[in-house]
Amino acid sequence: QKEVEQNSGPLSVPEGAIASLNCTYSDRVSQSFFWYRQYSGKSPELIMSIYSNGDKEDGRFTAQLNKASQYVSLLIRDSQPSDSATYLCAVNIWDDMRFGAGTRLTVKP
């Protein structure tokens, strides 16, 4: 089992819709969780970090964490074509960050 798993996609949503990105992780001791956005040919850019169970909102982005289910998700409301990118889930496992392979999101105008 991979340490961090994501659906590779591609996930396609129409402009204005909600995009839902999911991630599961294997190590129960993980305490820190991150979502990064990566445009093609660019480096990862931090969107959200979450440390406690529940929801964390920042603008159009909401991160959700459920440690009991070892599940973290990212919701993007009012999706825009500029949101089209690969979204990487990252989990801090014993001070080392482990990344999922990413989910490619396409927002169609």
Q: Which is nearer to another protein, 9 or 17 (CB)?
A: 9
Closer residue to another protein in complex, CB, 15/52: 52
∠ CA 26-5-53, nearest 5°, is 60
Q: How far is the CB of 22 from another protein (least distance, A)?
A: 15
DSSP state of 83: G
Shortest separation between residue 2's beta carbon and another protein, angstroms: 10
Strand partners, 90: 34, 99
Sole binder of another protein in the list 10, 42, 57, 108 (CB under 8 A): 42
Q: Which positions ≥6 away from 31 have C-beta within 8 Å?
A: 51, 92
Count of other CB atoms within 10 angstroms of residue 73: 18
91/23 Cα distance (integer angstroms) = 10
Segment interacting with another protein (CB under 8 A) among 10-18, 28-36, 64-72, 73-81: 28-36
Is residue 34 within the footprint of another protein (CB under 8 A)? yes
Residue numbers at the binding site for another protein (CB under 8 A):
4, 8, 32, 34, 36, 42-46, 49, 51, 88, 90, 92, 95-102
